[in-house]
Every structure is written in structure tokens, then in C-alpha cells.
Amino acid sequence: MLTITAAAAACGSPASRPAAPPASASAGAAGAGSGDEPEVAALAPVIDSDPAQLMGLGPRGLTDFLGPPELVRREDPAEIWQYRNQACVLDVFLYPESGNRQVTYVEARDSAAAPAEPRACLGALLRQKVPTS
């Protein structure tokens, strides 16, 4: 029993673990003496393309989120706001709710007018708005 305890104790001893380099040595190694800063890769922004986030938005909230529509079509009682890019068309339906128009439905179609996935189309529209460096 003593052998097992001693072996277990040796596994956890500081001498049996590899030493980590000092934080100052690893942080300054990339640019030490050369004046160069380490390269930092730019991260792509995370885009939430879930169309559910549009539900309940009024005209101002929708404009703030997607910008002005390319086309507004009125078919009483609805207003259909259309957003487009090269790949798809997103139709956002606003209906009167409690005296104000609100988004209640979203549908998408591809450039050939076939039904498309609204999430993919909204994602493409949002990525189009993100400035590139």
C-alpha cells in the first residue's frame, strides 16, 4: 500500500511536471529585439441570421436593422418590404398589430424566383452590410 501512495505522490510532485515558460518570455518572444508586433488575425463578425429576430419589429426597427427596403408593396392590410442581393430576395411582411405595422412573416426566393431558405437569404443580406477591411 505504501508503494502505491508514494507513486501517486510522485505523479503530482512539481518535479514530475514540465515547467511552463515564464509569461514575460513567451509574450515578448515574437517581437523581442525586432520592434515587430505579433500579427493578430481579424475575426469575422458573428452574424445572427435567424429571421425570428425580425418578428415584431416596426418600420423603424426594420430600417435600423436592414436599412431601407428596395421596394415597398402595399396589399391591404399588409405592407411587403423587399430586400435583394445577387442571390436572393427577402420579402418581409408587416401587418397592423395594435395600431402599428409589425413584421409578422418573412419569406425568401432565389434569383430564379424559386422558394429559398429565409435564414440563408437574411444572412447574405446582413453579410453584405458588414464593412470589409
pLDDT recorded at residue 34: 57
Q: How do residues 61-96 score in pLDDT, each as one tens digit?
A: 999 999 999 999 999 999 999 999 999 999 999 999
With respect to residue 45, please indicate whether it lies within any of the assigned structural domains: no
With respect to residue 2, please indicate whether it lies within any of the assigned structural domains: no
With respect to residue 108, please indicate whether it lies within any of the assigned structural domains: yes
With respect to residue 4, please indicate whether it lies within any of the assigned structural domains: no
With respect to residue 69, please indicate whether it lies within any of the assigned structural domains: yes
Mean pLDDT of 97-121: 96
With respect to residue 8, please indicate whether it lies within any of the assigned structural domains: no
In angstroms, how far is the first alpha carbon of the chain from the final one?
Answer: 65
Mean pLDDT of 37-41: 73
* CATH assignment of the domain containing 67: 3.30.160
- Number of structural domains (the chain) is 1
Whole-model pTM over 0.85: no
Res 15 pLDDT > 50: no
Residue numbers of the domain that contains 84:
51-129
With respect to residue 80, please indicate whether it lies within any of the assigned structural domains: yes
With respect to residue 25, please indicate whether it lies within any of the assigned structural domains: no
Q: How do residues 52-68 score in pLDDT, each as one tens digit?
A: 999 999 999 999 999 99
